[in-house]
């Protein structure tokens, strides 16, 4: 049987090695691995003939990319202005406290990653929290806790109310 | 040739020169940190800003990349320039108190107090090392990573990379690797050792 | 769908258009289900599927046309449904309502009362979309199409006479005539600064392309927090943007285009790619468009999540696959832009206006709006407002009309405090300026700007110092970090404002803040840094009192700045229900059941959850 090609090889072959495809390739590679592994970035730099530090620079410049593995569930709190004036700060604080991590981090059990985003363009629903592509609108600190608990329960990791 | 006015003098400059180059040619000193002859100017430090009057409109612009243009008037030491330059030097010193270059600039341009919160990061992100490594050494071992206030100069994955030949060119060109004469400085402290000896008003304002 | 074939003349296109219209004549009713992001979050997909199934079941599929459209604008009331030709408007539709809708409105001509919109001001039921106050005062020249077309079906756009402006351009107009028309129409860039579009086009047309390549770009990196107009246009009516770009490319003499879309808008990217494919298949894009001899194609470039990429040179750097870092523009991008070639960049909404101008003619177009700001502008009206959503209004309308007549004012009986326009580059305007007409120059005069169109309403529960802090914090993260005044200046600005919001601020710091703001404006490399201080400057100008209160009295009147507030329980109102005790995430509330509780201040983290969950208003925030 033929050896399976790595996602970065597939992506570079699909789009071509011109530098203008770098961001698209990084997106696709990240989709496969759920983050950007060092090895993949090295391969991409070599295949596209871009210096590694440039690839690394792009991967760290843009917020969509992560160099760390992500948890099973992505929790994204929108921090746009419309959400902010409706207390998205309080919602984020509660999500941080409940999960015990800061934005950009992943829980030790690899179940949750917490991210902030500077506007999802779903301002009418604010404050918005997105958990695995599902939008939850009009969030409050108490509600976000409920949502997160529900997800954890579905994973069989329900815990007591007491933090 | 291009005709322009710098600090009241009518001068001629060659097509393609920047204002900084033209000023230098006529012996007019414009401070600059991220500019280095032979490297592509990026206009990042903004220390070299000058006032450019063009078509009756005045604005501050980085002289290291602004090409000379027919009929413009340049002021390198106007009130507006001096004020902006002082704040920029102050900002830089707040992030890098142990740079001799910066401390000397502070003395030279009359910065006697740092009003900002200081924290020593040992780098002003001028990017000279990055350009040196890429353009002159053809190595491309170091570069800018992350962004915004988190921007830094690093090797990929923050580990030594094979592209680095340890030539030391980055250290050679770095403007902040040297302690000031009264160093090491605590964040927020100014050397100002030569404050009394420099003539702050060497070039009077022409406003 | 009619099989798509390559169309190689204007008459063939008209023939095709007629065929589409004839085919559709059999439908007696059309149901549009909004599929915008707002409604999708309210599960409009399930509504659409349920209706689809119900139409089949009831044998209505042949007479009732069903389509999932882009955003209708009234996101507050989603999922939305509109039934034509009667114009019945249903709000907050759920799959369970479908049976009733089919019986009453599709089989019959009745209205399902409980789904009808009730005007919160008059309490009156309003059955038709056009009569709802939210829509009534709008001028929906661009947005109205969103409700009429399925963005993934080019036939819908053609049925609405789409691409007729392109035909007119390619076969009846010289490129310079197109530019003249756009100039006469007075079109100004909708992306922020309001640069006259025609002057950009002229410069790009004039620029000499050494290798013959020029570019036309579309800025769809809508990064302003609180703004989503471009998202809705791209998702709901992508062909309008494509048509505008092709016309612009013809006027400039460009053969290659890019649309730079932010990665946070996946639906917009998907719909755009479908639209481009369909346009290519019909020969509306590609070589020898409609047999005119003019060739132009469009690529989609996806961003990576960086606000600064809305800046032209950063956007171009990002398309080239480099970090999104602006560079100096001493030489204009019209001459040296993408890959150092002549480039013209306009924003989504600007492009969408182009076909309108060509179709209507400049004279008619500029009848809407003011002398120096013609046409309409789409705003996302969000924040503390009753009717949240996208509104398209004629330029020159006052802020008050938008907020009160269209938006229905501030909810929950709270008092209006400020309206923020222009995103992080704009400013916050107080009540006294509500009669300012919305036009590029007037907004600039009062210290804000049009920006891309975010309009965030704030009530008395918003602290203006905190808002300034919010924007500075946002920009600290979103600045590229290249130049000193922006990177270091923003950081110091944040420190100062944090000192103020945390009760350590001094009056001298206010002066320093102003000085720093001016230096950042004068010396930053790109527009982001040059305008970064605007939210600080405008709040300082109009809400200085709040700054002074924070500094002198250590007081935050809105109750937002945590260091300056405390939560307490009023023992007279507390019933001892234990709700707050259970909800407190840090166990700071003590008290037995049916006895008044108390908050242990040392433990309290001021998250406000107790305040939120208390049903007896016993928790007091001071």
Same domain assignment for residues A97 and A54:
no
CB < 8 Å to A118, chain C: 223, 225, 307, 474, 477-478
- On whether residue C435 sits in a domain, the answer given is yes
The pLDDT-based confidence of A157 (bands split at 50, 70, 90) is low
Collapsing DSSP to helix, strand or coil, C297 comes out as strand
Nearest to A53 among B142, B146, B147 (CB): B142
The pLDDT-based confidence of C191 (bands split at 50, 70, 90) is confident
Q: What is the pLDDT of residue B198?
A: 58
Nearest to C382 among A23, A65, A126 (CB): A126
Q: Give me chain C's average pLDDT, please.
A: 93
Q: pLDDT tens digits, residue range C529-545?
A: 999 999 999 999 999 99
CB distance from B117 to chain C under 8 Å?
Answer: yes
Listed by number, the residues of chain B in 45-64 with a beta carbon closer than 8 Å to a beta carbon of chain C are: 45-47, 49, 59-62
CB distance from C586 to chain A under 8 Å?
Answer: yes
Dist CA C421 CA C457 (whole Å): 9
Answer yes or no: are the C-beta atoms of B147 and C306 closer than 8 Å.
yes
pLDDT greater than 50 at residue A161: no
Contact A93 C607 (CB under 8 A): yes
Q: Mark which of A39, A61, A83 sits at the end of a domain.
A: A61
Dist CA A117 CA B153 (whole Å): 25
Q: Which two tokens stand for residue C376?
A: 């309409």
| Minimal CA separation from A159 to chain C, in Å | 14
pLDDT greater than 90 at residue B197: no
Q: Mark which of A38, A61, A84 sits at the end of a domain.
A: A61
Same domain assignment for residues C175 and C306:
yes
Contact B151 C481 (CB under 8 A): yes
Same domain assignment for residues A19 and A85:
no
CB < 8 Å to B61, chain C: 330
Q: pLDDT tens digits, residue range C280-325?
A: 999 999 999 999 999 999 999 999 989 999 999 999 999 999 999 9
Count the Cβ atoms, other than its own, within 10 Å of residue C75. 30
Q: What is the pLDDT of residue B207?
A: 53
| Minimal CA separation from C585 to chain A, in Å | 6
Q: pLDDT tens digits, residue range A108-127?
A: 999 999 999 888 878 888 89
In terms of DSSP bridges, do strands C256-261 and C215-220 run parallel, antiparallel, or are they unpaired?
parallel
- Which residue, B160, B190, B151, A5, is CA-closest to C484? B151
Residue in the block written with tokens 């970064």: C532
Same domain assignment for residues C205 and C305:
yes
Contact B66 C328 (CB under 8 A): yes
Q: Which two tokens stand for residue C475?
A: 């920009």
Which residue segment(s) compose the domain that C534 sits in? 464-553
Sheet arrangement for strand C29-34 = C64-69, C29-34, C81-84, C88-90
Q: What are phi and psi of A120, to 5 degrees?
A: -100, -5
Q: Mark which of C553, C585, C605 sits at the end of a domain.
A: C553
Q: What is the pLDDT of residue A123?
A: 84
Q: Mark which of C433, C459, C485 sits at the end of a domain.
A: C459
Same domain assignment for residues A14 and A79:
no
Specify the number of domains making up chain C: 5
Dist CA C117 CA C119 (whole Å): 6
CB distance from C596 to chain B under 8 Å?
Answer: no
At C429, which CATH number? 3.10.20.600
CB distance from C510 to chain B under 8 Å?
Answer: no
Answer yes or no: are the C-beta atoms of C80 and C135 closer than 8 Å.
no
Q: What is the pLDDT of residue B203?
A: 47
Q: What is the pLDDT of residue B199?
A: 56
Q: What is the mean pLDDT of residues C230-249?
A: 96
Dist CA C127 CA C115 (whole Å): 9
What are the structural domains of chain B?
2-77 (3.10.20.740), 128-173 (3.30.70.20)
Return the residue of B nearest to A61 by Cα: B146
DSSP sequence for C347-405: EHHHHHHHHHHHHH-HHHHTTSB-SSSBSEEEEEEEES-SS-EEEEEETT-BHHIIIII
Contact B161 A55 (CB under 8 A): no
Distances (CA, A) of C214 to B87, C335, C344, C410: 41, 9, 8, 48
Percentage with pLDDT > 90 across chain C? 81
Same domain assignment for residues C342 and C202:
yes
Q: How many inter-chain contacts (B to C, CB under 8 Å) are there? A: 99
Same domain assignment for residues A85 and A117:
yes
Same domain assignment for residues A45 and A118:
no
Nearest to C484 among B45, B61, B67 (CB): B45
Q: ∠ at Cα B55 (B52, B60), nearest 5°? A: 20
Torsional class of C248: left (φ above 0), alpha (ψ -120 to 50), beta (otherwise): alpha
Q: Which two tokens stand for residue C80?
A: 């939305």
Q: What is the mean pLDDT of residues C396-424?
A: 94
Specify the number of domains making up chain A: 2
- Which residue, C36, C221, C281, is CA-closest to C273? C281
Q: pLDDT tens digits, residue range A140-149?
A: 998 999 999 9
Q: pLDDT tens digits, residue range A90-102?
A: 999 999 999 999 9
Region of poorest pLDDT, from A14-18, A155-159, C238-242, C437-441: A155-159
Higher pLDDT, B70 or A155: B70
Q: What is the pLDDT of residue B34?
A: 95
At C571, which CATH number? 3.30.70.20
The pLDDT-based confidence of A163 (bands split at 50, 70, 90) is very low
Contact A94 C609 (CB under 8 A): yes
Same domain assignment for residues C380 and C284:
no
- On whether residue C120 sits in a domain, the answer given is yes
Collapsing DSSP to helix, strand or coil, B121 comes out as coil
| Minimal CA separation from C321 to chain A, in Å | 4
Dist CA C54 CA C59 (whole Å): 8
- Which residue, A145, A150, A151, is CA-closest to A163? A145
Same domain assignment for residues C277 and C411:
no
Contact B88 C484 (CB under 8 A): yes
The pLDDT-based confidence of A160 (bands split at 50, 70, 90) is very low
CB distance from B125 to chain A under 8 Å?
Answer: no
The subunits that touch chain B, with at least 3 C-beta pairs less than 8 Å apart, are: A, C
Q: Give me chain A's average pLDDT, please.
A: 90
| Minimal CA separation from A1 to chain C, in Å | 35
CB distance from C305 to chain A under 8 Å?
Answer: yes
Same domain assignment for residues A79 and A50:
no
Listed by number, the residues of chain A in 120-159 with a beta carbon closer than 8 Å to a beta carbon of chain B are: none
Contact C484 B144 (CB under 8 A): no
Same domain assignment for residues C508 and C585:
no
At C508, which CATH number? 1.20.1440.230
At A106, which CATH number? 3.40.30.10
Indicate which of A60, A62, A64, A118 best probes the interface with B, i.e. most B CBs within 10 Å of its own CB: A60
Nearest to C323 among A58, A79, A122 (CB): A58
Which residue segment(s) compose the domain that A121 sits in? 73-154
Q: pLDDT tens digits, residue range A21-69?
A: 999 999 999 999 999 999 999 999 999 999 999 999 999 999 999 999 9
Same domain assignment for residues A39 and A84:
no
> What's the maximum distance between 2 C-alpha atoms anywhere in chain B?
53
Same domain assignment for residues C191 and C268:
yes
- On whether residue C143 sits in a domain, the answer given is no
Q: Mark which of C138, C162, C189 sits at the end of a domain.
A: C138
Secondary-structure breakdown of chain A: helix, strand, coil percentages, each rounded to the nearest 5: 50, 10, 40
- Regarding an ipTM greater than 0.90, the answer is yes
Same domain assignment for residues C42 and C191:
no
Same domain assignment for residues A105 and A139:
yes
Same domain assignment for residues C361 and C381:
no
Dist CA C72 CA C51 (whole Å): 18
């Amino acid at each position: 049987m033929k050896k399976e090609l790595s996602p970065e090889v597939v992506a570079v072959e699909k789009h071509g090695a011109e530098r203008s495809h770098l961001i698209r390739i990084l997106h696709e590679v990240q989709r496969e691995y759920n983050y950007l592994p060092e090895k993949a970035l090295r391969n991409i730099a070599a295949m596209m003939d871009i210096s590694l530090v440039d690839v690394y620079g792009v991967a760290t410049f843009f917020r969509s990319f992560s160099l760390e593995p992500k948890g099973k569930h992505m929790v994204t709190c929108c921090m746009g202005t419309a959400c902010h004036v409706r207390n998205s700060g309080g919602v984020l604080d509660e999500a941080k406290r409940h999960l015990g991590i800061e934005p950009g981090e992943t829980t030790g059990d690899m179940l949750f990653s917490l991210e902030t985003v500077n506007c999802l363009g779903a301002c009418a629903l604010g404050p918005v929290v997105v958990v695995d592509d599902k939008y939850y609108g009009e969030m409050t600190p108490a509600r976000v806790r409920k949502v997160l608990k529900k997800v954890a329960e579905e994973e069989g990791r329900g815990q007591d109310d007491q933090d | 040739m291009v005709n322009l006015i710098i600090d009241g003098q009518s001068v001629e400059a060659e097509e393609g020169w920047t204002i900084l180059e033209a000023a230098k040619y006529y012996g007019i000193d414009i401070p600059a940190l991220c500019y280095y002859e032979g490297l592509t100017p990026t206009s990042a430090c903004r220390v070299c800003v000058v006032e450019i009057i063009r078509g009756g409109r005045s604005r501050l612009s980085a002289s290291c990349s602004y090409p000379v243009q027919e009929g413009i008037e340049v002021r390198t030491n106007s009130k507006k320039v001096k004020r902006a330059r002082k704040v920029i030097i102050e900002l830089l010193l707040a992030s890098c108190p142990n740079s001799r270059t910066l401390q000397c600039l502070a003395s030279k341009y009359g910065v006697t107090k740092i009003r900002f919160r200081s924290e020593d990061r040992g780098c002003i992100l001028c990017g000279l090392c990055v350009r040196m490594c890429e353009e002159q050494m053809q190595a491309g071992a170091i570069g800018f990573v992350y962004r915004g206030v988190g921007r830094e100069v690093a090797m990929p994955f923050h580990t030594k990379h094979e592209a680095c030949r340890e030539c030391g060119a980055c250290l050679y060109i770095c403007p902040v690797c040297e302690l000031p004469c009264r160093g090491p400085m605590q964040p927020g402290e100014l050397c100002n050792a030569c404050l009394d000896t420099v003539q702050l008003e060497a070039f009077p304002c022409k406003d | 769908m009619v099989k798509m074939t390559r169309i190689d003349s204007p008459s063939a296109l008209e023939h095709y258009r007629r065929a589409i219209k004839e085919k559709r004549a059999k439908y007696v009713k059309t149901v549009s289900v909004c599929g915008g992001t707002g409604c999708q979050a309210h599960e409009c997909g399930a509504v659409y599927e349920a209706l689809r199934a119900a139409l089949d079941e009831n044998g209505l599929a042949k007479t009732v046309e069903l389509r999932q459209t882009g955003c209708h604008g009234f996101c507050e009331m989603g999922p939305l449904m509109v039934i034509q030709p009667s114009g019945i408007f249903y709000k907050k539709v759920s799959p369970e309502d479908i049976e009733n809708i089919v019986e009453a409105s599709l089989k019959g001509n009745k209205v399902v009362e409980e789904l009808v919109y009730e005007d919160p001001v008059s309490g009156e039921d309003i059955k038709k979309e056009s009569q709802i106050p939210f829509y009534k005062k709008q001028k929906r020249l661009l947005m109205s199409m969103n409700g009429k077309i399925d963005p993934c079906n080019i036939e819908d756009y053609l049925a609405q006479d789409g691409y007729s402006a392109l035909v007119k351009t390619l076969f009846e107009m010289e490129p310079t005539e197109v530019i003249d028309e756009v100039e006469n129409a007075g079109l100004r860039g909708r992306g922020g600064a309001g640069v006259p579009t025609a002057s950009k086009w002229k410069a790009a047309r004039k620029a000499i392309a050494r290798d013959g390549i020029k570019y036309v770009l579309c800025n769809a990196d809508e990064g302003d927090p609180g703004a989503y107009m471009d998202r809705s246009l791209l998702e709901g009516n992508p062909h309008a943007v494509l048509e505008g770009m092709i016309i612009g490319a013809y006027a400039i003499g460009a053969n290659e285009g890019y649309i730079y879309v932010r990665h946070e808008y996946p639906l917009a990217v998907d719909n755009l790619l479908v639209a481009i494919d369909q346009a290519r298949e019909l020969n509306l894009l590609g070589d020898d468009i409609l047999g005119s001899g003019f060739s132009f194609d469009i690529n989609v470039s996806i961003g990576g999540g960086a606000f600064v990429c809305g800046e032209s040179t950063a956007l171009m750097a990002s398309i080239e696959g480099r970090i999104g870092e602006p560079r100096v523009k001493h030489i204009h991008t019209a001459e040296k832009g993408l890959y150092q070639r002549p480039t013209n960049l306009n924003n989504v909404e600007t492009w969408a206006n182009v076909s309108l101008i060509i179709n209507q003619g400049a004279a008619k177009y500029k009848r809407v709006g003011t002398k120096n700001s013609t046409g309409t502008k789409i705003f996302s009206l969000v924040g503390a407002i009753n009717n949240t959503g996208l509104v398209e209004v004629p330029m020159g309308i006052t802020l008050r009309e938008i907020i009160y007549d269209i938006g229905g004012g501030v909810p929950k009986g709270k008092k209006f405090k400020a309206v923020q326009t222009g995103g992080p580059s704009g400013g916050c305007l107080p009540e006294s300026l509500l009669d300012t007409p919305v036009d590029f120059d007037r907004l600039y005069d009062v210290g804000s700007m049009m920006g891309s169109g975010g309009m965030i309403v704030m009530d008395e529960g918003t602290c203006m110092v905190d808002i300034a802090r919010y924007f500075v914090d946002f920009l600290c993260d979103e600045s590229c970090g290249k130049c000193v005044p922006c990177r270091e200046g923003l950081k110091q600005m944040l420190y100062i404002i944090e000192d103020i919001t945390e009760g350590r601020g001094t009056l001298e710091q206010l002066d320093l803040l102003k000085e720093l703001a001016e230096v950042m404006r004068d010396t930053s490399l790109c527009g982001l840094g040059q305008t970064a201080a605007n939210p600080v400057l405008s709040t300082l100008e109009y809400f200085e009192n709040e700054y002074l209160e924070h500094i002198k009295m250590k007081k935050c009147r809105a109750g937002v700045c945590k260091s300056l507030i405390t939560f307490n329980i009023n023992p007279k109102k507390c019933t001892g229900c234990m709700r707050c005790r259970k909800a407190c995430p840090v166990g700071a509330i003590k008290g037995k059941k049916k006895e008044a509780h108390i908050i242990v201040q040392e433990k309290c983290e001021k998250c406000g959850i107790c305040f939120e969950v208390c049903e007896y208003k016993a928790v007091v925030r001071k």
